[in-house]
Amino acid sequence: MDKQQQTAKPRRWVSVVLWILAFILMGGSAVYQRMTGPTHPMRGGYEIGGETYKHKLLRSGTVGEDAEITLPDSGSAVHIYYKRYKTDDNFTRVVMVPKDGKLAGRLPTQPMSGKLEYYSEAYDGADKVRLPSDGRNVIIRFKGAVPSWALVPHIFFMFFAVMWAFRVLFEAALNRQGIRLLSWATFILMFTGGLVLGPTVQHFAFGEAWTGVPFGWDLTDNKTLLMWLCWLVAVIIIGVKGPLKPRARWAALIAAVITVLIYLIPHSMFGSELDYGKLEEGVPVTEAIGQG
């Protein structure tokens, strides 16, 4: 009896350590997804009059609201040039004006999934500085407002699904006995966050609940579907009771590895994109949306 008590305590500590490590990795994946996604503001710097200024250029806007672009007030004239993305439109100039100690300029709101491309120019005497400095244009996409009751639980379930996936990965790699419960928990989190709340969020944001296979090639939807299918296969193999067979460990391990690898792909790539050509032909907005 004393021997059993001595061996139980270290095992509990192993579980605690593994949960802490899974939480840290989940947090890291959240930051990675945020920083690498195409809607994260483009950051950089520029120099005028011997001073260096930092900028943050928006890449996501809300339908019904003009997108306000702000830059540090360097004392120089700054203009924004924009046009609808993937069109032959001419660039329209917006003069940035002082506001709350910065310079501000507005880009007009667009329909769901509509995109604008824009850049800025700051004038330093006879010289001008282009932002971004690498010659690219910034792409900003507009989406519908998503209520917090749908967005917050969606984010919660999806990131805790990856946390549980990390935990399954450790459990399976170390050949521990908690694989079944952890795998079923991951499956439920993935289903709720990805296949219930995910389409709800997308419906509010882009007017369509699902644009992945078999209806389209939206990368985010297809990533979610692939992860869920992997966990579905895993829990079918693992079952709900009885001794765990070696193939159960491998099924959980493979599902966890695939999930982690998928989370290394930036979020919202090849997402919904409005075709302005179709829109001008009279096609309804929801039918003129494809994948970018």
Q: What is the three-state SS of 69-105? A: EEEECCCCCEEEEEEECCCCCCCEEEECEEECCEEEE
- The C-alpha atoms of residue 125 and residue 189 are separated, in whole angstroms, by 57
Mean pLDDT across 20-42: 89
The domain segmentation of the chain, as residue ranges, is: 2-36+146-291, 42-143
Q: What is the model's pLDDT at position 148?
A: 96
Coil, helix or strand at residue 122: strand
Q: What is the model's pLDDT at position 171?
A: 93
Q: pLDDT tier at 125 (50, 70, 90 boundaries)?
A: confident
CATH topology classification for 42-143: Immunoglobulin-like (2.60.40)
| pTM for the model | 0.85
Q: What is the model's pLDDT at position 47?
A: 84
Does the pLDDT at position 8 exceed 60?
no
Please name every residue paired with 46 in a beta bridge, in sequence order, or none if there are none: 53
pLDDT tens for each residue of 162-210: 999 999 999 999 988 899 999 999 999 999 999 999 999 999 998 889 8
Does the pLDDT at position 150 exceed 90?
yes
Please name every residue paired with 42 in a beta bridge, in sequence order, or none if there are none: 57
Does the pLDDT at position 49 exceed 80?
no
